[in-house]
Chains A and B, each alone.
Chain A
Amino acid sequence: MKPPAFDYIRAAHLDEALGALHASGGDARILAGGQSLMPMLNMRLTRPAVLIDIMRLDALAQPRLEKGALVVPAGVRQAALLDRATLVDEVPLLAQALPWVGHAQTRARGTPCGSVAHADPSAETPLCLLALEGEVRLRSRKRARVVKSVDFFTGMMVTARAEDEMVEAIALPLRRPGTGYAFAEVARRHGDYAIVACAATVDSRRIRLAVGGVADRPTARDLPLLDGSALDDALNAFAWDLGAGEDVHATARYRRDLVRHLGRQVIKEALRCRN
């Protein structure tokens, strides 16, 4: 279908975008790469009065390193991040997961911040942000604030972002020595949303496993350094606690099975590459 009618604002400065967001009284959406929002508009699942295009803002165009984190502003496209030669050393988990985000054609336009703002429970970028305990940087006309990833995702495509705020950037903690990172997912076709996606980080103290596609939001659990049947038991408990549902793609039982198997796989891989 075609999108419903809206006013379109091409912001030339961040202040203009934030002012327009404030003035709209909650009836505006930020348009970045459009790879999540445009399908929603075409299917008329959302009907904003105003779209605010932020892709011409130089201030949001470049990733940067800052206090132990890779900061990715809202105008950075997924493909640009994948092309960043140092990404695999800086944030190896994201380097592993990004090729699973859509296809080359959508990664050329889509943005990591857009994925986070959209907050699909199966999406890879929110999962990585949560696994790494990253931050979401929000800004409104009046204030800027930082929300921890664990507090940002509050439900199925629902986040802690207020209506007059935009996701200005995400901050992904840089690789730490002695920590291993691994990602895996199962989908019907490469590029589809995951049926289940798992991301693990393992250091000398703990295992952190994040799971997407099962609960209504990406969900993480910290475990001690277990192995053998103790790890199996912990994964089984996590799989049940996620409250898997059944849909056209998979049964609840299959999803629990994927959590157990993919969970073990990514933990094993993260342990292997820990150094």
Chain B
Amino acid sequence: MPKLSAASRHSVSFTVNGVARSVEVESRTLLTDALRHGLGMTGTHVGCEHGVCGSCTVAIDGTMARACLTLAVAAEGCDIRTVEGLGLGPGRLGVLQAAFKRHHALQCGFCTAGILMSLDTYLRRHPDPSREELTLVIGGHLCRCTGYAPIVAAALDAAAELRGAQKHPEETAHA
């Protein structure tokens, strides 16, 4: 029975976007801070830090999770995916990200990482979602810029593309 003392730091290991990583944390360190401060992966954002706003959402073992409500030490051995894993490569957006760009589904972008991770996780299990289902998924996030409509439109568009129903020319990053 591992007991991790409050007084010292502990090494925790998990995979992040398919890569095995280890990070030194306190027992009280949140997964958000382990990712951002420990591993320098600042794509996962910290908003309310009590599970309401959704901007810290990541995937843990294939399910959506608030990283701010997860202890890093509790994620030992887990498979974690973050927004950094969505791109096809440097400067190349993934299908969902490209749909967000086409539909202007973000303005300030603060909430976007979390929404992308919820939608990415949901679409893997539900490739043909209804507008209503997507609305419920996005209901777990706060976005104060878009009014949500373009986010739903982007998600429907990306789902169709991922099913092979339509194609968009691959978009490249601005020079």
Contacts and interface: CB of A to CB of B under 8 A. Distances in A.
B32 to A, nearest CB: 10
Interface string B26-68: 1110100100000000000000011100100100100111101
A193 B126 CA distance: 27
Contacts of A16: 1
A109 B140 contact: no
B65 A2 contact: no
B108 interface: no
Contacts of A7: 3-6, 27
Nearest to B137: A104
A9 interface: yes
Contacts of A49: 6
A41 B29 CA distance: 11
Nearest to B1: A16
B81 to A, nearest CB: 13
Given A2-B33, A106-B51, A38 B140 contact: no
Contact of B3 (A9, A34, A79): A9
Contacts of B26: 5
A254 to B, nearest CB: 23
B139 interface: yes
Interface string A255-270: 0000000000000000
A212 B66 CA distance: 26
Contacts of B27: 5-8, 51
Contact of A108 (B6, B65, B68): B65
Contacts of B6: 5-8, 49
B82 interface: no
Nearest to A190: B139
Contacts of B50: 38-39, 42-43
B20 interface: no
Contacts of B69: 34-35, 38-39, 42, 106, 109
Nearest to A4: B28
B112 interface: no
Contacts of A12: 1
B74 A104 contact: no
Interface in A1-19: 1-13, 16
5 contacts: A10-B74, A108-B63, A108-B64, A189-B139, A190-B139
Interface of A: 1-13, 16, 20, 31, 34-35, 38-39, 41-43, 49, 51, 53, 55, 79, 102-106, 108-109, 189-191
Interface of B: 1-7, 26-28, 30, 33, 49-51, 54, 57, 60, 63-66, 68-71, 73-74, 76, 118, 122, 136-137, 139-141
Given A51-B27, A109-B69, 12 more contacts: A4-B28, A7-B5, A7-B6, A9-B4, A11-B1, A20-B1, A31-B74, A38-B69, A41-B28, A42-B69, A103-B136, A106-B66
